[in-house]
Amino acid sequence: MTAPIIINEVGLRDGLQNQPRLVPTAEKLALLDALRAAGLRHFEATSFVSPKAVPQMADAAALYAALPQDETTEYAALVPNRQGYERARAAGARSVAVVLSCTETMNQRNINMTLAYARRVSAEVMQQARADGLVGRAYLAVAFHCPFEGPVDPAVVRELAAEMIGAGAREIIIADTIGAADPLHVARLFDLLIGEHGAAALSGHFHDTKGLALANCFAALERGVSKFDASIGGLGGCPFAPGAAGNLATEDLVNMLETAGYETGVDLDGLAAAVAVAERCVGRELGGRWIAWRRSQAARRQNRAAS
Amino acid sequence: MTAPIIINEVGLRDGLQNQPRLVPTAEKLALLDALRAAGLRHFEATSFVSPKAVPQMADAAALYAALPQDETTEYAALVPNRQGYERARAAGARSVAVVLSCTETMNQRNINMTLAYARRVSAEVMQQARADGLVGRAYLAVAFHCPFEGPVDPAVVRELAAEMIGAGAREIIIADTIGAADPLHVARLFDLLIGEHGAAALSGHFHDTKGLALANCFAALERGVSKFDASIGGLGGCPFAPGAAGNLATEDLVNMLETAGYETGVDLDGLAAAVAVAERCVGRELGGRWIAWRRSQAARRQNRAAS
C-alpha cells in the first residue's frame, strides 16, 4: 500500500551554508560518505553562489569534482542565476535548482531582485537546463507564510508553479522556509497543485521551527507526494538559537516513514552515525526528536547497568 | 470550515503523577488557575488510586473539594476500580475515566490484572457511572503499540471500544501510551472506530516521544475527531530523561490548531504563563516545541537590543 519515498538530503547545502565554522571540502565529503552509507541517494550537494555572499559554498566546483559517482546517487546544485548555472554546468552538475520566493519583499530581501525579475531569471535557468539536457527543479520559497508579508495566497504559488513547469522545471519544491505552515494549509495548497501537475511533479521542504514539519509532511504524503527534503540532525536554521530548529531532521522523517511502513531505503542507525559526523563538522550537538529519544534510551540503559 | 476543538488538559494528573517532587494541593490549584486563565475548560484533575502506589495523587479528595466550579469548566477523575470510583463519586466527581490497556502483558504489568479481569472491572465502573448519572469515559491504553507485545491488532481495540461503549462509556480515548504510533496507523484505527461509533465518541491521547504527536493528532483531526488530551509544557513522561518528551505539550497542540484556523478558546500567551507555573511545581524547565521557539525569539530580541 505504500510507495517508496525519496528523501532529498539538504544538509550539505541548506544545512551548512550558515554555519559559523567553515567546513573543509574533505569534511563535507566525509559527511556525504556517512549519509550514503545510511542509504541516502539524493543530495543537494552545494550552491553555485558568490563565494563572498556564502563563503561556506566557495568550494562548490571542487566539491562537485570530488563527488562519488554511481548509478543510483543523484546530486543537485542550487543556482541563483545564469552565471551560477553556467558554473554548475561546467562543474558537471546534471541537476540544478533555482529558488524563487513567492513574495515581492522576500525576493528583494533575500536576493535583491524584484519578484518579476526573479521569476524571469528562474524561468531562463529552467529553459536553459531543459535545452542543455539537465534536470531543472524550482523551489518556491515562503510558499505558505512570508516573514515580511504574512500569509501567502495559494493562487500566487499556483501561478509561479505553472510558470516554472512551463519553463521546463521537472519538479516544484514547495518550501515552508520559516516553519510557519500548518497541515491544513499544506493540504489545501498541495490539493491545488496536484490537481494541475500531479503529485509526482511536487516535493515538500518543511522546517521544524515549531514542531510541525512531520505533520506537514504527512499532510502532503497522504495526498500522494513522495519526495521530501530533510537535513541530517536538523542541521541548518539559526546556529545561535538553541531549540529553534530549522530544517526537518532527516532521521525524524525516516523514523515516521519507516514506522508507517513506507520504504525509504534509509537506515536509522546509519543516520545516527551521520549525525555524529555532522556534529564534528559544525562543532556542536545536533539531532532531532528521534536522536533525543535514542539518547534518552541509551542513558536509561546506562543508569540501569550502573545500578 | 473548522469546528471548535476540545483540549483536555491532563497535566494535573498524567503530568504530575510521576514527578519526584510531591506537589502540594495549593500549587496544583495555582496551576489550574493559570490553565483556566489561558482558556482551558476541560481537565483531568486527579486520580483516585492508592496513595501508596501514587503518593502524588494522595490529595485527590481534598483537591476535588477545592476545584473552582463554573458552568463551563469540566473535571474528570481517573478511577482504577470500583473502590476508586466510589471515592471519586463521594468527592463530587461528575466525570470518571477508567484506563484499560489493550494487551494482556500491559494490564498485568501496569495494574496487576489480567486483560479479562481488567475489562470486567472497567465495564462495571462504566455501568455504575451510567446508573449514577455520571459521565463515564474509557481510555484504551497502548492502543497502537505495546512495549511488551509489540504492534496491537486494531481488531482488539475495536472489540474493547465496543465493550466500553456498550457498558455506558460516553467517550473512548485512544491512547498511544509510549509514543510509538504513526499517522497512518492512527488514520486506519480511527477510520475503523469512527465507522462504528462516530467521531464525537472518540478522543486522542498522543505522546510526543519521537516527535510524532502533532502528526498523529492531525491524522485524527482530518477524520473529524475534535477532542484531544495534552499536558501543559509536555509535563509527564520520564523526568530523568531529558529530551525524551512524554505527553504532547498543550501549547504545541494549540499552536497547530490555531495556526490551522481551528477554534480552541485557548490563548498561547496564557499557556506560556501556565508553563512557568508548572515549572515551579516540578522544579525544572518544561515546554514543548512552541515554547522553545518562543524562547529563541526572545533571546534574539535580547541579542539585538544588546548589540
Q: What pLDDT digit, counting tens, does each position of B99-118 carry? A: 999 999 999 988 889 999 99
Q: How far apart are CA A128 and CA A265, in angstroms?
A: 33
Whether residue B292 is predicted with pLDDT greater than 80 in this model: the reply is yes
Min CA distance, A296 vs chain B (Å)? 5
pLDDT bin (cut points 50, 70, 90) of residue A2 is low
- The confidence score (pLDDT) of residue A296 equals 86
CB burial readout B45-73, b (16+ within 10 A) else e: bbbbbeeeebebbbbbbebbeebeeeeeb
Mean pLDDT, range B288-295, rounded to an integer: 92
- The confidence score (pLDDT) of residue B298 equals 86
Specify burial of residue B1 (Cβ count, 10 A radius: 0-12, 13-18, 19+): exposed
What's the whole-number average pLDDT of chain B?
94
- The confidence score (pLDDT) of residue B306 equals 77
Maximum mean pLDDT: which of A107-116, A133-142, A287-296: A133-142
Mean pLDDT, range B269-285, rounded to an integer: 96
Reduced to 3 states, what is the DSSP secondary structure of residue B256?
A: helix
- The confidence score (pLDDT) of residue A239 equals 47
Residue of B nearest to A290 (CA): B210
- Nearest Cα to Cα of residue B78 among B106, B57, B107, B62: B57
Which amino acid is residue A145, in one-letter code? Answer: H
User: B188, B218, B238, B307: which to substitute to probe chain A, counting the most A Cβ within 10 Å?
Assistant: B218
A221: CB partners within 8 A, 6+ apart: A5, A228, A257, A262
Min CA distance, A186 vs chain B (Å)? 10
Residue of B nearest to A179 (CA): B293
> By the 8 A CB rule, do B12 and B44 touch?
yes
Q: How far apart are CA A101 and CA A104, in angstroms?
A: 8
Cβ pairs bridging A and B (under 8 Å): 111
pLDDT bin (cut points 50, 70, 90) of residue B71 is very high
- The confidence score (pLDDT) of residue A238 equals 53
- The confidence score (pLDDT) of residue B246 equals 86
Contacts of B219 in chain A (CB under 8 A): 218
Reduced to 3 states, what is the DSSP secondary structure of residue B115?
A: helix
**Domain ranges for chain A:** 6-306
- The confidence score (pLDDT) of residue A200 equals 97
Phi, psi of B45, deg, nearest 5: -80, -40
Worst-scoring range by mean pLDDT, A24-28, A276-280, B104-108? B104-108
Q: What is the CA radius of gyration of chain A?
A: 19
pLDDT bin (cut points 50, 70, 90) of residue A246 is confident
ipTM value, please give it: 0.94
**Candidate from B218, B238, B255 with C-beta closest to A219:** B218
- Nearest Cα to Cα of residue A57 among A99, A28, A86: A28
Q: Count of CB atoms within 10 A of residue B145's CB?
A: 20
Contact call for A211 and B211, based on CB within 8 A: yes
What percent of chain B has a predicted confidence (pLDDT) above 70? 96
Q: Which residues make beta-bridge pairs with B138?
A: B98, B172
C-alpha distances out from residue A7 to A197, B21, B31, B216, Å: 20, 44, 43, 21
Q: Count of CB atoms within 10 A of residue A82's CB?
A: 12
Whether residue B244 is predicted with pLDDT greater than 70 in this model: the reply is no
B78: CB partners within 8 A, 6+ apart: B13, B44, B46, B47, B48, B49, B84, B96, B97, B98, B99
Q: How far apart are CA A177 and CA A205, in angstroms?
A: 8
- Nearest Cα to Cα of residue B37 among B277, B234, B219, B282: B277
Q: Return the ∠ at Cα A262 (arms to A218 and A236), rounded to 5°.
A: 55
pLDDT bin (cut points 50, 70, 90) of residue A111 is confident
Contact call for B293 and A210, based on CB within 8 A: yes
pLDDT bin (cut points 50, 70, 90) of residue A241 is very low
**Candidate from A215, A241, A260 with C-beta closest to B218:** A215
Question: What residues of chain A have any CB closer than 8 angstroms to a CB in chain B?
Answer: 2, 180, 182-185, 187, 208-212, 214-215, 217-219, 222, 238, 240-245, 252, 255-256, 259-261, 288-290, 292-293, 295-297, 299-300, 303
- The confidence score (pLDDT) of residue A165 equals 98
Mean pLDDT, range A46-61, rounded to an integer: 95
Tens-place pLDDT, residues B194-214 = 999 999 999 999 999 999 999
Strand pairing of A145-146 and A150-151? antiparallel
Min CA distance, A218 vs chain B (Å)? 7
What percent of chain A has a predicted confidence (pLDDT) above 70? 96
Min CA distance, A146 vs chain B (Å)? 14
Contact call for B256 and A214, based on CB within 8 A: no
pLDDT bin (cut points 50, 70, 90) of residue B243 is very low
Mean pLDDT, range B19-48, rounded to an integer: 97
Worst-scoring range by mean pLDDT, A112-116, B129-133, B188-192? A112-116
Q: What is the CA radius of gyration of chain B?
A: 19
A185: CB partners within 8 A, 6+ apart: A144, B259, B260
H-state helical runs in B82-226: 82-90, 104-111, 115-132, 154-167, 183-197, 213-222
Tens-place pLDDT, residues A178-189 = 999 999 999 999
Give the N- to C-terminal CA distance of chain B in Å, as an integer.
Answer: 46
Whether residue B130 is predicted with pLDDT greater than 80 in this model: the reply is yes
pLDDT bin (cut points 50, 70, 90) of residue A305 is confident
**Candidate from B219, B245, B255 with C-beta closest to A218:** B219
B8: CB partners within 8 A, 6+ apart: B42, B43, B44, B76, B203, B227, B228, B229, B230
Contacts of A245 in chain B (CB under 8 A): 289, 292
Whether residue B3 is predicted with pLDDT greater than 60 in this model: the reply is yes
| Residues of B carrying an active site annotation | 238
Q: Which CATH architecture has domain A6-306?
A: Alpha-Beta Barrel (3.20)
Q: Count of CB atoms within 10 A of residue A227's CB?
A: 20
- E strands present in chain B: 6-9, 42-47, 74-78, 95-101, 135-141, 145-146, 150-151, 171-176, 202-206, 227-230
User: B182, B207, B238, B304: which to substitute to probe chain A, counting the most A Cβ within 10 Å?
Assistant: B182
**Candidate from A243, A245, A296 with C-beta closest to B241:** A296
Q: Which residues make beta-bridge pairs with B174?
A: B140, B204
Whether residue A1 is predicted with pLDDT greater than 80 in this model: the reply is no
Mean pLDDT, range A257-275, rounded to an integer: 97
DSSP string, A267-299: -HHHHHHHHHHHHHHHTS----HHHHHHHHHHH
Mean pLDDT, range B270-298, rounded to an integer: 94
Contact call for B296 and A185, based on CB within 8 A: no
pLDDT bin (cut points 50, 70, 90) of residue B238 is low
Contacts of A296 in chain B (CB under 8 A): 238, 241-244
Mean pLDDT, range B42-64, rounded to an integer: 96
Reduced to 3 states, what is the DSSP secondary structure of residue B297?
A: helix
- The confidence score (pLDDT) of residue B242 equals 46
Q: Count of CB atoms within 10 A of residue A37's CB?
A: 14
A232: CB partners within 8 A, 6+ apart: A9, A11, A15, A31, A35, A249, A250, A251, A271, A274, A275, A278, A286
